[in-house]
Structure formats: C-alpha cells, structure tokens
Amino acid sequence: MPDTYPASITITQAGAPLADATVVLYPEDSTLTRWPVGGTTDEQGTATLMTSTQYEGAPAGKFKVIVSKSVTEGDPYPKHPGQGATREEINDYDRALKTGKFEVFKVVAEEYRTAGTTPLSVEVASSGDNMFSEDLGDAVKEIDVQASATSKGDESYVPMDGTAE
C-alpha cells in the first residue's frame, strides 16, 4: 500500500457547489491503479478523498479527475431490501421496479465522466495542502435510458419466478 496524504476536492457547476457527486481520481502512474481513490461531495461540493474507501487521503502522483452525478425524477427509485430480505420483500422491490415511473438523468457533461475524456487533473503531493477545486461549467440533463423506468403501471404484475400473484 502506498503512503497516502490528506486531500480534498471541491466540485462546482456553473459556480455553485455540486452536492452528491461521485469523484474518482484515475492515476497516470499505472502502478497506482490497484489503489482506487475517490469520494462523494457534500453540500458544499467538497469530497474528502479516500484510498480503497478506507484509508484517508490519496497517494502522491498525477491523476485525472472523473465526476459523475445522476438525479431521479418521478416515482422514488426503490431501495433494494438487502441480502437477508424475505421473498415478499424481494417481490415488492421487483414490483416497484416494474411498475414505477421514473427517469434518471446524468447532470454532469459526458466529457467529465471518463478518464479518457476528462480535461480535469490534479497532482497530489507528499507535502502541502492538497486542496483542489474544479468547475464543470453548465449543468446538463441527459436521460439515462438504461436506468429509467417508464412503465405504464397498469399491467398485471408477474414476479421474476413467473408465477402470477
């Protein structure tokens, strides 16, 4: 495990803090790829960076900054009941997915969402404050068709096992 150094990044969009965005630092040094670095922005748009989700800070080096965020409109997106869920809880979850009406939109421009296209970069140093800030420009609203559900909600429900209720 490489040494890590305290680091944070503040993400704004058109000058306003971007809350609840996922930030990932993609290393230019391939030996660091096994140590993922990232965080989620708070209400002020600031993410405290963590390595492997459990170690505070980031290794020293140059990184591409990847930012993503989605918002949902319509019925609330159902929360999976978890591994210990009963059959009834799983069926309720499945029904909500099939009959819900919601759309998921990506609100960060596509260029910032992958390491190959993002123009953003930072260099984490072994000394110094390592406090970065980036502005993403204007918000976008691109529908994520694969994550959206636009069922009419009037079909008879059949659970995944194929038996009608």
CATH of the domain at 36: 2.60.40
Q: What is the mean pLDDT of the chain?
A: 86
Report whether pLDDT(74) > 60.
Answer: yes
Q: What percent of the chain has pLDDT over 90?
A: 56
pTM check: above 0.85: no
Top pLDDT among 128 and 119 is at 119
Count of domains observed in the chain: 1
Q: How far apart are the C-alpha atoms of 66 and 121, rounded to whole Å?
A: 9
Mean pLDDT confidence for 53-80 = 88
For residue 115, give both structure tokens: 């390491």
What's the domain range around 54?
8-150
Determine, yes or no, domain membership for 78. Answer: yes
Q: Does residue 35 or residue 131 have the better pLDDT? A: 131
pLDDT of amino acid 58: 96
Domain assignment present for residue 26? The answer is: yes
pLDDT confidence of residue 102: 73
Report d(CA 158, CA 94) in Å as an integer: 9
Structure-token match 């809880």, residue found: 89
Six-digit token string for 1: 């495990």
CA distances for 162 relative to 27, 84, 158, angstroms = 46, 22, 6
Residue 160: predicted pLDDT = 44
Judging by beta carbons within 10 Å of its beta carbon (0-12, 13-18, 19+), is residue 160 exposed, middle or buried?
Answer: exposed
